[in-house]
Amino acid sequence: MGTDPVYYVISDLHIGGDEQLGDVEFLDELLGFLETLEETNENAELVINGDAFGLWEFTTIEGTAKFEALVELYPELFEQFRATGETVPITMVPGNHDHELAAFDEYVDRFAEYNVDLVQEQSLTRPIGDRAIHFQHGHQQDPNNRIEDWGNEHAAPLGYYYNIRVTSRAGQLSDRGRFNWLKDVQAVTPTEWMPVWLFSKYFYREMNPLIRYALVPFLLLFNISALLAVFAGLDRAGIWSAPVDVTRDLFGQFGLAGSAVWAFLAVNVAVAALLLLVGIPFLLLKRDVRQTIERFGVFDTDLTVDAEKPYRAAAREVFTEDPETAIFCYGHTHRPAVEEIDGGLLVNTGTWLKRLHRRNGITGLLPPVFYPSYQLCAVRIADESDGIAIEYEAIEKPSPSPEELTLTERLLTLGRKPDPSLPDRTVLSDRETGEHSGD
């Protein structure tokens, strides 16, 4: 067992931004983690592996003035950095959202005042036993956020424009809604879900409640109504009348209440039939257009920012170029995970932002519900007697307030609440065998 430090790794805090984006919901937990780390008896080092700050999300100030804004907004955090850094080295690697940390040398000196060692390179290597850990934020493997001219303050990949036009604007507008929900825009991953999430929150949060409650029964029963519409068509055509007769007789047994339900279903069936007449040709057209576009390769562009394939390829390349490297540690995609790659380990450190879990409707046409949760963690990497151990240490945080979901959303997700779990302890054993074990 070596004498190298134990490494604690966190990433994707995204602290700071315009207006509502400045609200750091996990600040108390982060301060508590840093304070606990300060008191550890281990030979430890904290690595903040990119996107500690949301500098892209500040659109009204420029350059190193953003550092002054951060210190002014979060004085407790910077003082805790100073205190923790006196006993535990803190190393910070820039990500894409705080790429500007690599563009101004002044940042190095300013962070040093708070005992944070800012490394302006895109990657970092640390020894672990007789092997090594490769740290990088991970945006390098994302075509939308890759920064070719690293360190150039004017570098602006596609993701930058998305942030200043969408994310930052959401921070400026969030408090205008019926509930301050738009600030959670950074929690929507993959970004392709953004239109669905916006429509979902409009339906469940912003829509006039009377309209929503009038639509819910119809949308919930749409599948049944569509089926009855087909049966009604068969009945009208004289092909098969049994389903309609049985259903009518069934509801007739309940008197006035049954008649009311039958009338309600009749309206739903009429609307569903109209939608079917319009929708079926539309779906056929949509399918044909998509197939045509796919032939031209438009969809084969890796637009999804959390696709793991590029990171597997990057890890294999690092492991091949430097066989001593045992761990490829990254963040960016916000999804904590460990995976064996060619005798090494691919380790994702997750995020401290809120996570949104999509729950599609069980039936009908109701929009999906995006259920919030927290999955705060620090990854501990240590050289131990049985090999290099990777452990995800959960940082406890209360669940989001029930008020973040409407009553309708809570009812539709009964029994389907997310229960996110962190990866189990994983040990990378002797490099010659390439064996590893999970506890």
pLDDT of residue 229: 66
pTM to 2 decimal places: 0.83
pLDDT of residue 228: 64
Task: State the residue for tokens 């429509």.
Answer: 199
Which CATH code fits 6-205+304-438?
3.60.21.10
Measured in residues, the chain has a length of 439
Q: How far apart are CA 345 and CA 361, in angstroms?
A: 36
pLDDT of residue 348: 97
Q: How far apart are CA 212 and CA 299, in angstroms?
A: 34
Of 279, 280, 261, give the one whose Cα is nearest residue 221: 261
Of 424, 419, 428, give the one whose Cα is nearest residue 439: 424
Q: How far apart are CA 61 and CA 239, in angstroms?
A: 71
Residue ranges of domains in the chain: 6-205+304-438, 221-295
For residue 439, give both structure tokens.
Answer: 């506890």
Contacts with 316 (C-beta within 8 Å, 6 or more apart), sequence order: 341, 342
Provide the residue-wise pLDDT of the chain in tens; the chain has 439 residues.
446 789 999 999 999 999 999 999 999 999 999 999 998 889 999 999 999 999 999 999 999 999 999 999 999 999 999 999 999 999 999 999 999 999 999 999 999 999 999 999 999 999 999 999 999 999 999 999 999 999 999 999 999 999 999 999 999 999 988 889 999 999 998 888 899 999 999 999 999 989 888 878 777 776 666 666 666 677 677 787 776 667 667 666 777 776 776 676 677 666 666 665 666 676 677 677 767 656 555 444 444 444 688 999 999 999 999 999 999 999 999 999 999 999 999 999 999 999 999 999 877 788 999 999 999 999 999 999 889 999 999 999 998 888 899 999 999 999 898 888 999 999 998 644 344 455 5
Identity of residue 408: T
For residue 51, give both structure tokens.
Answer: 């996107």
Contacts with 205 (C-beta within 8 Å, 6 or more apart), sequence order: 177, 178, 179, 181, 406
